[in-house]
Structures are given as structure tokens and as C-alpha cells.
Amino acid sequence: MMTKIEQRVQELVLEKISDRSDLFIVSIHMKGNGVLEILMDGDQGIAIEDCVKISRHVGFHLEEEEVIATAYRLEVSSPGIDSPLVLVRQYEKNIGRSVQVKTPEGEKREGKLLEVSSTAITIEESKKEKGKKAELIQAVIPFEQITETKVLISFK
């Protein structure tokens, strides 16, 4: 459930990016320590300049409207490289990359992200049975069986 502040911030961000269909909000969170965190992303990533423009727009309007009564710090950034994927749109922009998927049972599955639907993802994972060569198989994993998905970074 979003607070009034978070809702107003969402409106301001959407207003600022209305001409940029490639950009989207990942999350808006007013933390207890006075930090207002806005996580943004884009289908091709997001530039620092875009974060700066969003920050200025939101900051200006919050000050003018006196939305937040106490001192706060506004942070606009993109999710870190090790941040889990949250939105279907983030999954979509990572098709073709290797991911690690954690299940509620604590199992970790790794594979290449092939497909994303509104209910599940398809990965290509390597299965090795004893005494046999590893083979690549496609596995469909429903979102309700995923507790966390992270993109695996390759340094090859």
C-alpha cells in the first residue's frame, strides 16, 4: 500500500517521463530514516541525466507543495546490478541473459532467460544425469514459484 507521499511522487515521476515510453518506475519508497528512494529503469537502461531530471522535477514540486513536513533526502537511481528483478518489464529487458532463480524451497536454478509471460518465465538450463552428457532443456517457472531472480554477470 502506497502512502500519500509515495502516490504524489509516483504522479510527479509519471508526469516527467510521460514522453519517454522506454522509462519506467521500479519502486518508490519513503524510508523511516527520511530517505525518499525512487528506483527507475529503462528498456535500454537509464542515464544519469534522466535520474537528475526526475530528481529535480520531483524535488521542486514536493518543496512547492510542501508534501513532506520533515527533512528528507531524495535519491533517484536505477536498481544495482545485483538487485533482484521485480517487474515483468525488467525480466523482458534481460531476455537472452543468464539468470539465477530462487524457489520458495531454497533451490537455485540457473539458465538463459528465453521467454517471459505475465505468469511465468522460460529458462534454458543445463541438466546433467549421472554418467550422461549434460543436455540443455527448457523449463517454465511460474512467478509464484520464484522468490528471487537475479541476472548473472559474466566477466568472460
- d(CA 51, CA 84) in angstroms, rounded, equals 20
CA distance 156 to 136: 21
What local confidence, expressed as pLDDT, does residue 67 receive?
Answer: 85
**Residue 80 near residue 94, CB atoms below 8 Å:** no
Looking at the chain, the number of H-run helices and the number of E-run strands are 3, 8
What is the reported pLDDT for 147? 97
Is residue 156 scored above 70 in pLDDT? Answer: no
Q: Which CATH architecture has domain 88-151?
A: Roll (2.30)
Q: Would you kindly state where each structural domain of the chain is located, as residue ranges?
A: 4-77, 88-151
Q: What pLDDT does residue 134 have?
A: 87
Mean pLDDT of 81-99: 94
Task: Compute the mean pLDDT over every residue in the chain, rounded to the nearest whole number.
Answer: 94
What is the DSSP-derived secondary structure letter of residue 84? P
Give the pTM. Answer: 0.83
CATH topology of domain 4-77: GMP Synthetase; Chain A, domain 3 (3.30.300)
Q: Which residues of 143-152 are buried (b: 16+ CB within 10 A; e: fewer)?
A: eebbeebbbe
Q: Give the pLDDT confidence of 103-118 residue by residue, as tens digits.
A: 999 999 999 999 999 9
For the purposes of burial, counting CB atoms within 10 Å of the CB of 49, is it exposed (0-12), middle (13-18) or buried (19 or more)? exposed
**pLDDT band for position 98 (cuts 50, 70, 90):** very high
pLDDT cut 90: percent of the chain above it? 83
Q: State the sign of the Cα–Cα–Cα–Cα dihedral 78, 83, 84, 90.
A: positive
Per the model's pLDDT, the better-predicted residue between 71 and 50 turns out to be 50
In DSSP terms, which residues pair with 77 in a beta bridge?
A: 39
Q: Which amino acid is at 141?
A: I
Per-residue pLDDT tens over the stretch 2-56: 789 999 999 999 999 999 999 999 999 999 899 999 999 999 999 999 999 999 9
- For residue 131, pLDDT over 90 is answered with no
